[in-house]
Amino acid sequence: MSVVIELTDCFEILGVQPGAHLREIRSAFRRLALSCHPDIAGPQKAKQFETIAAAYAQLKSATPAQISESLKKKKSHGDAGKGSPFSWKKTPPRRPKNDRREEAERESSKRVQDLLLEKALVEAELSMARILEKATRKDEKRTVSSLSKRLLSTHPGVRVLALGALAGRPVEKNVFSSLIEMLRMWSPDDDTVEHLLLLDFSEEQKGDIAAALSARSLLLSEASALALLRWASILPVKMSVVRKLLSHPSPRVLSQALSRWSEKSLPDDLTLIRLLKREEDEVLAPLLRILKDRKVPVWAYGRVKMLAENHVSSAVRVWAQSIVRAQNLV
Helix, strand, or coil (residue 330): coil
Give residue-wise pLDDT tens across range 178-197: 999 999 999 999 999 999 99
Residues, the chain: 330
Pick from 200, 192, 222, 223: nearest CA to 212: 192
Q: Answer yes or no: are the C-beta atoms of 254 and 278 closer than 8 Å.
A: yes
Q: Topology of 1-69 in CATH?
A: Helix Hairpins (1.10.287)
Give residue-wise pLDDT tens across range 101-135: 666 666 666 666 666 556 656 665 565 555 555 55
Domain boundaries, the chain: 1-69, 264-330
Phi-psi region of 19 (alpha: psi -120 to 50; beta: other; left: phi over 0): left
Q: Answer yes or no: are the C-beta atoms of 304 and 329 closer than 8 Å.
A: yes
Angle at 285 between CA 219 and CA 324, to 5 degrees: 130
Task: Select the highest-mean-pLDDT range: 21-35, 62-76, 159-173, 197-211.
Answer: 197-211
- Is the whole-model pTM more than 0.85? no
Q: Answer yes or no: are the C-beta atoms of 323 and 312 closer than 8 Å.
A: no
Confidence label for 25 from pLDDT (cuts 50, 70 and 90): confident
